[in-house]
C-alpha cells in the first residue's frame, strides 16, 4: 500500500486530497498546525476507509516545522510515494499595505518550504525509481498579483524545471493551478467573496480529481477546469497593463486559491 503526505491537510484542497487518496486506499501522513483537527481527520479517514493515517503537527512558516516534515520524507523505511505541497495562505492588502514580515512568512511557506520538501521527497523517490509530487499553486501565478502571485509563479516555474531535470527517473512533478475554490482560504485571510461571480467557484473534490488525472497523464501543469483554461489562454494574449488594471480592481482583493 502506498503512502501520501499532504501539507495543509485539514481544510480545502488539502482535505479533498486526503479524502480522495484515502478512498483510493492510500495510507496518509497528514500535516498541519492544529493537532486536534489533525487527529480528528486521521480518525475519520481511518474509520471510513480502513487506511493508516499518521499525524504530523508542523508549522511550515518555521525552520523547525519544515525540518520535521523533511525528516519524515527522508525516511527510507515506510517511504512517501506522493507528496502534496498544499499549505499556503493569502495576505489581505496591496503591496506596502502588508507588513514585510508577513510577506516574508508567505515566501517561507510558498517557496522555501516547497523547495525543501520537494527536494527531500524526490531524493528518496529517485532512488526507488518512482514517486510523485503535486505542488499546489494558483492561476494567480499567471497574473500580476503582488507577492502572492509572484510566489505561485515561482512554484510553477520551479516545479516544471525540476520535472524536466528528473525526466526519465520515474519521479513525476506537477504544479496544480486552480482558480477560486470553496475553502477556508479567503475567510482566514479576511477577504470578502461577495463580488466573485458564482461561475468562477470550483469544487475542491473536482479539482483534486482533475489534478490526479493530469498527474497520471504525466502533465507538469494542471489547470483543472475548462473555464479557467480558457481564461488563462486569454490572459496570455492580453496586454500586461490591462491585466494589471483588472487584478488591481478584483484579484488583489479577492485572490484565487
CA 12 to CA 189: how far, in whole Å? 14
**Is 254 considered catalytic here?**
no
CA 196 to CA 20: how far, in whole Å? 27
CA 110 to CA 245: how far, in whole Å? 25
The partner residues of 131 in beta bridges, in order of sequence, read 171
Q: Under 8 Å CB-to-CB from 239, ≥6 apart: which residues?
A: none
Q: Pick the catalytic residue: 95, 148, 228, 254? A: 148
CA 185 to CA 22: how far, in whole Å? 23
Pairing of β 131-136 and β 27-32: unpaired
Burial of 189 (0-12, 13-18, 19+ CB in 10 A): middle
Q: Tell me the catalytic residues.
A: 148
Amino acid at each position: 500500500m502506498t503512502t501520501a503526505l499532504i501539507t495543509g491537510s485539514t481544510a480545502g484542497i488539502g482535505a479533498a486530497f486526503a479524502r480522495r487518496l484515502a478512498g483510493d486506499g492510500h495510507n496518509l501522513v497528514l500535516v498541519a498546525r492544529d493537532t486536534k483537527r489533525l487527529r480528528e481527520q486521521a480518525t475519520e479517514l481511518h474509520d471510513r476507509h480502513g487506511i493508516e493515517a499518521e499525524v504530523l503537527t508542523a508549522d511550515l512558516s518555521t525552520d523547525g516545522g519544515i525540518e520535521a516534515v523533511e525528516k519524515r520524507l527522508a525516511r527510507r523505511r515506510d517511504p512517501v510515494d506522493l507528496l502534496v505541497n498544499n499549505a499556503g495562505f493569502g495576505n489581505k492588502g496591496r503591496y506596502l499595505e502588508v507588513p514585510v514580515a508577513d510577506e516574508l512568512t508567505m515566501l517561507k511557506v510558498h517557496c522555501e518550504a516547497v523547495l525543501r520538501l520537494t527536494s527531500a521527497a524526490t531524493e528518496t523517490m529517485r532512488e526507488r525509481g518512482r514517486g510523485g509530487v503535486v505542488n499546489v499553486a494558483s492561476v494567480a501565478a499567471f497574473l500580476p498579483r503582488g507577492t502572492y502571485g509572484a510566489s505561485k509563479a515561482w512554484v510553477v516555474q520551479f516545479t516544471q524545471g525540476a520535472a524536466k531535470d528528473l525526466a526519465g527517473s520515474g519521479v513525476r512533478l506537477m504544479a496544480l493551478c486552480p482558480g477560486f475554490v470553496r475553502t477556508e482560504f479567503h475567510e482566514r485571510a479576511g477577504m470578502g467573496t461577495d463580488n466573485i461571480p458564482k461561475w468562477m467557484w470550483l469544487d475542491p473534490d473536482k479539482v483534486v480529481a482533475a489534478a490526479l488525472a493530469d498527474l497520471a497523464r504525466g502533465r507538469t501543469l494542471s489547470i483543472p477546469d475548462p473555464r479557467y483554461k480558457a481564461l488563462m489562454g486569454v490572459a496570455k494574449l492580453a496586454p500586461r497593463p490591462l491585466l494589471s488594471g483588472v487584478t488591481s480592481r478584483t484579484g488583489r482583493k479577492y485572490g484565487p486559491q
